[in-house]
Structure 1
Amino acid sequence: MAEPTRLDLLRGLLAESGHAAMYVSDLVNVRYLTGFTGSNGACLVRADGEAVFLTDGRYRDQSAAELAAAGNDDIEIVVTRDLLGVAAGRAPADLVAETHLLDVDSWQQLDRPERSGRLVERLRETKDDTEIAALRRACEISCQALEALVAGPLVGRTEREVARDLEWRMLELGAEDKAFETILAAGEHSAIPHHDPTDRELRRGDLLKIDFGARVDGYHADCTRTFVLGPAQDWQREIHAAVRESQAAGLDRLRDGVPVADANTAARGSLEASGWLDAFTTGLGHGVGLQIHEDPFIASSHTGRLASRTVLTMEPGIYLPGRGGVRIEDTVLVTDPDHGGEPDVLTDTTKELLEID
């Protein structure tokens, strides 16, 4: 028996929820369901089996090729400038849509559909083999690029120069692009969780925090490592060790069936025990896939449980304004408990506090 397609899985969720069809207009969700990578497309998916893909004339050939490559060559393709109007004319009465993306006029044109309840995002939380392979490759490229970067001289170069160097190395290794704007922060700037690289030169004694990733086939890697330029001071060693212990505690809870909130409790509990919880001011982790930030988000408010094949980050940190900060982040695959169940850290470069020049 053939494996169900992503469209089949969505049809199953629609049937479970008692809805006849869904209008999908989020381009990330459209890509996930159909394989289409262009800038204008939508699809109408019926629970009873029919699916229609809509795009404009610019993407006539591209959409046909991409849908076929994704195994969706049986989907009807409608080329039109009025995607919404055609969808509205063909939609059944009981329609759901991504209403958070629709303006009022579009919502009314679709005859006021109900909220979809993030059905496609639910499917995207667990990855198939193709997705895992892309994520694994993105993480491999990221780690290889970082290891090559820190093997060379860094002191005296600017944050911006080193960030661009790292990004170029990822492209040279086969990335289609960087996953997001690289955060490369030296010295006092490392205390800023999301710092934009500047022309500040890297100096001996600086903490150097690098948050970066490669993108492969649309899938994102996310990794952060913190180093010291030259010999580490005691306070730098202390906060690095505290973050590393916190991350290890959180990683250990990234297992199939474990409540998502447990990972949050474990990582924050470790920081509290070491006396540094008040210096942790950011989120702890998030899903990674076709978007750099996607469901699930690790938080005490999350009521769900982790499932195998979920890929997410674990990224505690300590940030001391005016002095410096440390973040350690990995992209992690939750594995099948029948095959060991240990979290599979995809960004497997060293987490030691390296002293580099």
Structure 2
Amino acid sequence: MKLRKLREKLSQLGLDGMLVTNQYNRRYISDFTGSAGVLLISPSEAKLLVDGRYTDQAMDQAKEFEIVQSPRNLLQAITDQVEQMGIKRLGYEADHLSVTQFNQYKDNINAELAATSKIIETLRIVKTEDELVQMRGAAQIAEKAFQHILTVIKPGITERDISAELIFQMQKLGASGPANDPIVASGWRSALPHGRATDKVIENGDILTMDFGAIYNGYLSDMTRTLAIGEPPAELKKIYNIVLDTLEHSKEKAMPGVTPRELDKFARDYLDAQGYGKYFIHSIGHGLGLDLHEDPFSSSEEVFEENMVFTIEPGVYISGLGGVRIEDDVVIKKDGVEVLTPSNKKLIIL
């Protein structure tokens, strides 16, 4: 099915071959999970070129592909296979190719090279039911890790302690690793949207933001929760409730036919009406799947379709005071959204 759809796109673009080098696109099309290798796809052939480290793995995973074992430097193998496959106009992934790599291809491959952008990424936007199963699994792992970390957080431990425990728990629960280096930001540092964990000690009265996720069978989750250790400042409690309201109202607006740009504007306007719009300094969310940040993005004019997965993550950040972000992963459905991260989001005070 995936190969057929890709070949249809190549035909529409007048291409008789495609070179796939991006790791996420390679996995999506071939099911091959190795860290190195390229795909060459024509109307009648599909080949996966790997070096000897991955031959057996490729044969086991990439059932629709002919496996070509090559040296670690794949350039000569690509050149030879393009000629053998009779490819005259070869598409390449311009978004994922360095100038050096392009020059090497241009100097060696005997075919017209045609730049393409987001051909496979577009196919990846709408998830299959099997993909959604994996994403539900990734979300459940992160949710369970969150419930566990609530029993660990207390004054005296550091942000690094929390980050390490989150990663450890997610792996114990079946994750192959964390979806990102967890954001753990407490006290004044919670005003940093991407505040990575430091040696800062958790103190009474701190607000604490944690942004983390799990990788499960290649698919990712991405959730953010903000809580308090002891009684937080009154303004931060007020901000928390406003951010939570923004999240819930935004989820109600996320449906087929709405664009991510419209959803972003809705959340921005809502926060602005509450007096905090200028403190919302990032977008409302992004697509999620094999990659942590993938299409559609919040600037997209492409409308939501059923079974797209999107994060919704409003936030308010005030320098010197702190910040609040709450994030859910949602699947767009005909009659609303399926929330993959449904844990209670009322303010928790430990």
Aligned to 1:98: 93
The whole-number CA distance in structure 2 between the counterparts of 1:279 and 1:153 is 27
5 Å-filtered alignment, 1:81-230, equals 81=71, 82-91=73-82, 92-100=87-95, 101-102=97-98, 103-108=101-106, 109-110=108-109, 111-230=111-230
How many Å apart are 1:148 and its aligned residue? 1.7
5 Å-filtered alignment, 1:1-357, equals 4=1, 6-46=2-42, 48-68=43-63, 72=64, 75-81=65-71, 82-91=73-82, 92-100=87-95, 101-102=97-98, 103-108=101-106, 109-110=108-109, 111-299=111-299, 302-335=300-333, 337=334, 341-356=335-350
Structure 2-normalised TM-score?
Answer: 0.93
Is 2:6–2:120's contact at 8 Å kept on the other side of the alignment?
Answer: yes
- Identity score, percent: 34
How many Å apart are 1:88 and its aligned residue? 3.0
The whole-number CA distance in structure 2 between the counterparts of 1:294 and 1:227 is 28
Amino acid at match of 1:57: G
Instruction: Return closer, same or farther for 1:314/1:25 CA change in 2, 3 Å cut-off.
Output: same
The whole-number CA distance in structure 1 between the counterparts of 2:16 and 2:254 is 36
How many Å apart are 1:107 and its aligned residue? 3.4
SS in 2 for 1:189: helix
The whole-number CA distance in structure 2 between the counterparts of 1:276 and 1:209 is 18
Select between 135-144 and 246-255 the one with higher mean Cα deviation.
246-255
Amino acid at match of 2:79: A
The whole-number CA distance in structure 1 between the counterparts of 2:259 and 2:194 is 28
The whole-number CA distance in structure 2 between the counterparts of 1:90 and 1:163 is 46
The whole-number CA distance in structure 2 between the counterparts of 1:276 and 1:163 is 29
CA RMSD of aligned residues (A): 1.5
Instruction: Return closer, same or farther for 1:140/1:279 CA change in 2, 3 Å cut-off.
Output: same
Is 2:183–2:210's contact at 8 Å kept on the other side of the alignment?
Answer: yes
Structure 1-normalised TM-score?
Answer: 0.91
Amino acid at match of 2:4: D
SS in 2 for 1:113: strand
1:178-204 deviation per Cα after TM superposition (whole angstroms, max 9, x unaligned)? 111011111001001111211111111
Is 2:75–2:105's contact at 8 Å kept on the other side of the alignment?
Answer: no
How many Å apart are 1:219 and its aligned residue? 0.8
Amino acid at match of 1:158: T
The whole-number CA distance in structure 2 between the counterparts of 1:104 and 1:142 is 39
The whole-number CA distance in structure 2 between the counterparts of 1:277 and 1:79 is 55
How many Å apart are 1:247 and its aligned residue? 1.6
How many Å apart are 1:153 and its aligned residue? 4.5
Amino acid at match of 2:336: E
The whole-number CA distance in structure 1 between the counterparts of 2:323 and 2:112 is 49
1:47-73 deviation per Cα after TM superposition (whole angstroms, max 9, x unaligned)? x232111111111111101113xxx2x
Is 2:41–2:47's contact at 8 Å kept on the other side of the alignment?
Answer: yes
The whole-number CA distance in structure 2 between the counterparts of 1:50 and 1:332 is 37
